[in-house]
């Protein structure tokens, strides 16, 4: 069986043989297995498991975490924090970005303030949020929401500002009332940018929740990682990281699915030509 797809004479994209998808997946699995194996080997051979732990130790730790029932409650808490923060941040960021992006006057008015916030490393606000919202769930939701807000807001604002003003004028000539301009042109146009912002902002929801838990918390995946570090339990730290990785991958998958549904036109491919008339 050949790993390479058969190249038809029609291909115009050079001579590089392309891999068939199944072989790509197989190779990727191979790489992952090799990495795990190398990790385990190094940990055992050089006794580095105090610093690096090892896949087997991490698995044991994951099992223990799950068996204690804490994994479920930690996951629930962290996902709630990140999820609520994500929803609030996206909604508010998308809305304000949309309004300031479309309304030139307001946009110009607020631009210097927006820019001064843009450069601020938002993570630095975490301690302040503890002061404002305590060490409970509100603090993490607000912090995660704030991070997401800025990502979605900036992307939507900048994208929406680029709209072709002639397009709007053309719509007015076609008979569009202000309401039509908002609903039939501005909103769909901005949707692309809101989605782009959401895609960039999604990981920040999780970052916000985790950082919030690092700073002050009593439970959650981030809290567990910090706790394990203070007990020098490297395996538990890695267990926490793996959980975070799995969450992010699942979230991105969901987002891609939603996006392909909402913005189906973007994936329309190929060019359609009329049959040539002679």
Residues lying near other proteins in the complex (CB under 8 A) are found at 166-167, 169-177, 180, 184-185, 188, 191, 263, 265-266, 268-274
CA atoms of 251 and 90, how far apart (whole Å): 15
Contact status, residue 155 vs residue 97, Cβ threshold 8 Å: yes
Residue nearer to other proteins on the CB measure, 15 or 165: 165
CA atoms of 240 and 61, how far apart (whole Å): 10
CA atoms of 210 and 152, how far apart (whole Å): 19
Helix axes 187-215, 234-262, angle to 10 degrees: 170
Closest distance of CB 197 from other proteins, Å: 17
Closest distance of CB 259 from other proteins, Å: 13
CA atoms of 206 and 125, how far apart (whole Å): 16
Closest distance of CB 269 from other proteins, Å: 8
Closest distance of CB 186 from other proteins, Å: 11
Residue nearer to other proteins on the CB measure, 47 or 269: 269
Q: Region of 134 please: left (phi>0), alpha (psi -120 to 50) or beta.
A: left
Residue nearer to other proteins on the CB measure, 1 or 174: 174
Q: How many CB atoms are closer than 10 A to CB 136?
A: 12
Closest distance of CB 111 from other proteins, Å: 25
Closest distance of CB 190 from other proteins, Å: 11
Residue nearer to other proteins on the CB measure, 196 or 234: 196
Which residue's entry shows tokens 């210097």? 112
Residue nearer to other proteins on the CB measure, 198 or 207: 198
The residues facing 4 across adjacent strands are 19
Closest distance of CB 187 from other proteins, Å: 10
Residue nearer to other proteins on the CB measure, 44 or 172: 172
Give Cβ neighbours of residue 125 (< 8 Å, ≥ 6 apart). 143, 146
Residue nearer to other proteins on the CB measure, 121 or 274: 274
Query: What are the CA-CA distances from residue 146 to residues 54, 137, 139, 152 (Å)?
Result: 36, 14, 11, 10
DSSP tag of 119: T
Q: What is residue 218's three-state secondary structure?
A: coil
Closest C-alpha to 75, from 67, 66, 64, 88:
66
């Amino acid at each position: 069986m050949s790993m390479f797809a058969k190249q038809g004479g029609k291909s115009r994209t050079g001579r590089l043989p392309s891999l068939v998808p199944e072989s790509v997946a197989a190779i990727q699995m191979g790489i992952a297995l090799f990495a795990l194996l190398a990790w385990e080997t190094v940990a055992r051979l050089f006794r580095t498991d105090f610093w690096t732990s090892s896949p087997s130790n991490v698995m044991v730790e994951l099992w223990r975490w799950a068996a204690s029932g804490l994994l479920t409650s930690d996951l629930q808490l962290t996902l709630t924090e990140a999820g609520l923060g994500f929803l609030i941040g996206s909604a508010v960021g998308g809305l304000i970005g949309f309004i300031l992006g479309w309304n030139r006057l307001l946009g110009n008015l607020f631009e210097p303030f927006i820019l001064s916030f843009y450069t601020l490393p938002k993570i630095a606000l975490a301690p302040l949020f503890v002061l404002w919202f305590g060490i409970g769930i509100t603090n993490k939701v607000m912090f995660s929401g704030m991070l997401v807000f800025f990502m979605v807001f900036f992307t939507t604002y900048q994208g929406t500002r680029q709209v072709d003003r002639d397009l709007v004028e053309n719509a007015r000539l076609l008979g569009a009332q202000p309401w039509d301009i908002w609903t039939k042109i501005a909103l769909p146009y901005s949707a692309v940018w809101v989605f782009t912002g959401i895609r960039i902002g999604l990981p920040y929801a999780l970052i916000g929740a985790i950082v919030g838990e690092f700073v002050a918390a009593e439970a959650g995946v981030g809290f567990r990682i910090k706790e394990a570090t203070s007990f020098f339990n490297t395996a538990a730290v890695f267990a926490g990281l793996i959980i975070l990785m799995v969450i992010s991958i699942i979230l991105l998958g969901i987002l891609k699915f939603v996006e392909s549904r909402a913005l189906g036109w973007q994936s329309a491919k190929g060019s359609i030509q009329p049959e040539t008339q002679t």
